[in-house]
Amino acid sequence: MRYISTRGGIAPLRFQDAVMMGLARDGGLLLPETLPAISADTLDRWQHLPYQYLAREILSLFIDDIPATDLEELVERSYASFAHPQVTPVCKQGEVYILELFHGPTLAFKDVALQLLGNLFEYVLARTGGFMNILGATSGDTGSAAIAGVRGKAGINIFILHPHGRTSPIQALQMTTVLDPNVFNIAVNGSFDDAQAIVKAIFNDLAFRDAYQLGAVNSINWARVLAQVVYYVYAYLKLRKQGASSVDFSVPTGNFGDIFAGFVARRLLPAGCIHTLILATNENDILTRFVSQGEYSRGQVITTSSPSMDIQIASNFERYLYYLRGENGGQVKADMEGFAATGTLDLSAFKAQIAEDFSSRSVSEPETIATIGDFHRQHGYLLDPHTAVGVKAALELKDANRPVVCLATAHPAKFGAAVAQAIGSEPPLPPALSDLASRESRCAVLDADIDAIKDFVVANALR
């Protein structure tokens, strides 16, 4: 298996090289040259596998430069820290199924990928004798999950940018109370899109990138997406075991990474296994507008109770664009350069194809809070605001003939204020969060200025 750039400007890479490169050196995103196909017979064989075994089977389709025994150990170690024996359990709640992705160490779906990615980085560096300075931006949960994945690991320093005051208080504390000497938090005076733009610009400074051996943990890293493909297949197999031949998924998304993993899973599985991918957005509806109108156009970021989705530029969109453009890297390069210059990209000629790939619903802030309250009253089950966006979209768009699985992306206790607004009281804090407010924290507050961020990295990086 080899990996190429969405913009067509690099030679094919092996998996380990793709993981360490993160963002392609031509500014594109990495993808496998071809996607494997999974047969119905293979699904029969996988039907009863525990999560870790299924993960090894799926990952091995994309990884041929890590010995099977080493991959097995990496997977086992990555998911040993999860509190639930099924890692990502599926439960029925009323008219929908909930895929619980919040049983990892930071209580967010990002743990599923970032526990594995941290171990992959450590594995490769141990064999090369190298070092890495990880640079990433987070709208909420990626930062704490990335930090949890690499804290204390030899040969790795990590720098995480988050928008100052625009994450939930618990999300910020989960990052800034980690005091390991290899962890550096930067609160940026600006939006997540500002922070993400700085990170991408620094990665595209190839001389700086090479001098400091920069590595990526955002979902621009293909390993992040690959790890997330597993839980779509796992959830589908759970419902297949119950007699479902076709399943829909509702995915709260802002950066397009999680739903792109579903898009990959849909292409891997036999036709019809995953029927519809419901793309659920909050009031930051760039992706819903894209699905409904065929126009991808930047707007103003709106602050909501689901801050991980408060995004107007979806960094993984380029991967989907690659397939929409018939795997034409040159056209994708031209598209993305045009979008960077104008803030808009007209893809209305592809509306029919887009409609086959996704349905979409933008969920307002009042609808989000109401959904948390209604779902709790009806089923005794608490949703975090991101998951509530997905559940509301699923209830509106679901097909009565197919089960719909809603991705629960974070523990509700991480968003206590929104939950309290919905049900009248904050949820109890699980042990992992109960003493965060009393812990010492460390964070640099910097302007959204590329030179200021570079100077901070230079002063603290491994070399």
Which residues belong to the active site?
Answer: 110
Closest CA to 414 of 137, 220, 168: 168
Q: How far is CA 289 from CA 71, 89, 306, 361, in A?
A: 40, 32, 18, 9
d(CA 104, CA 82): 4
Task: Confirm if 146 and 162 have CB atoms less than 8 A apart.
Answer: no
Task: Confirm if 328 and 378 have CB atoms less than 8 A apart.
Answer: no
Q: How far is CA 145 from CA 309, 334, 430, in A?
A: 16, 34, 17
d(CA 139, CA 201): 17
**Residue 312: CB atoms within 10 Å:** 19
Residue with tokens 């893809």: 347
